[in-house]
Amino acid sequence: MSEDVQDASVVFFTGTAGAGKTTLVRSFRDWLKAAGYDATVLNLDPGNESPALEPDVDIREWVRLPEVMEEYDLGPNGAQIAAADMIALKVFDVRQALEEFRTDFVLVDTPGQVELFAFRESSKALVDALGGERAAIAFLFDPALAKSASGFASLLMLSATVEFRFRRPTLNVLTKSDVLTPERKEEIVSWGETPEQLVAAVEAEAATPDVQLSSEIARAIETLAPLSTLLPVSSKSGDGLELLYRTVQRIFTGGEDAEVSQVTPDE
């Protein structure tokens, strides 16, 4: 079933620090392989030291954060910014490494700080060079932030900004859904489905009656309703990974593959 990398579906995983990008990439890769698909993992985070990822192609072969810090006498934040531009210069090396794989999906773990991915021109060049028209973005909603209405609205606007920057199909994913009670998870998902509920919930969180949600922000939230559908997933239990697969399939092929319906994710 594997194809040349230029025909593969490329999904860039991004979100705020701690949202669970690395863990989700690993779990989704394992799920896809269990379903009979080949999935290749690309790590684009030069500071990622997590032993959980085990990437097939690793930007740290060309750019490593500790080395950038030492060579240019930079702190962690400055080194991340410098490294983001260095990575763009290695894009052809990365693409050549990916072309050694015949794969159906390329799953890209982006830097932990979403701003390094979203707001650097070098990132747009990477998305174009590595994915082109076969690229999509999975924006991760951390439940630690999304469980409050104001946090959810902030993440929704950040996700819309990412989509606007890259002009690629973007899906919103609620990670770590296993840490939420069923009631809280249902409430968070409902905010994505019904913007009026989200606006009302944000207004109810106001510290004082004098602090009200501006009408402009309320209209912005309502305007973003078509983009706010949320997919709850759990890397730990595997819940939602099939739905994630089907959503990705609809983006790239306009259809779903019923063959995977009997697959049970590895724990």
| Helix/strand/coil (H/E/C) assignment for every residue in 166-182 | HCCCEEEEECCHHHCCH
pLDDT of residue 162: 93
C-alpha to C-alpha distance for 172 and 145, rounded to whole angstroms: 14
C-alpha to C-alpha distance for 243 and 173, rounded to whole angstroms: 10
pLDDT of residue 113: 82
pTM (2 decimals)? 0.89
Please list, residue by residue across 9-23, b when 16 or more beta carbons sit within 10 angstroms of its beta carbon and e when fewer do: bbbbbbbbeebbbbb
pLDDT of residue 11: 97
Backbone angles phi, psi at 40, to 5 degrees: -110, 130
Host H or E run for residue 138: strand 135-141
- Residue 80 has, within 13 A of its CA and on its CB side, a CA count of 16
Residues 6+ apart with CB under 8 A from 175: 15, 19, 20, 24, 140, 141, 142, 143, 233, 234, 235
pLDDT of residue 111: 87
pLDDT of residue 6: 64
pLDDT of residue 10: 96
Rounded alpha-carbon distances, angstroms, from residue 147 to 115, 142, 177, 178? 22, 8, 11, 13
State pLDDT tens for residues 82-120.
998 899 899 999 999 999 998 999 999 998 888 888 888
Encoded amino acid at 177, one letter: S
Residues in the chain with pLDDT values less than 70 = 1-6, 206-216, 225-228, 255-267
pLDDT of residue 265: 39
pLDDT of residue 3: 53
pLDDT of residue 229: 83
Grouping H, G, I as helix, E, B as strand and the rest as coil, residue 225 is: helix
β-bridge partners, 3? 103
pLDDT of residue 52: 74
Q: Where are the alpha helices (DSSP H) in 99-193?
A: 114-118, 121-130, 143-146, 149-166, 182-193
Using alpha carbons, select from 151, 133, 138 the residue that is nearest to residue 107. Answer: 138
Domains of the chain (ranges plus CATH)?
3-258 (3.40.50.300)
Q: Using CB atoms within 10 A of its CB, is residue 139 exposed (0-12), middle (13-18) or buried (19+)?
A: buried
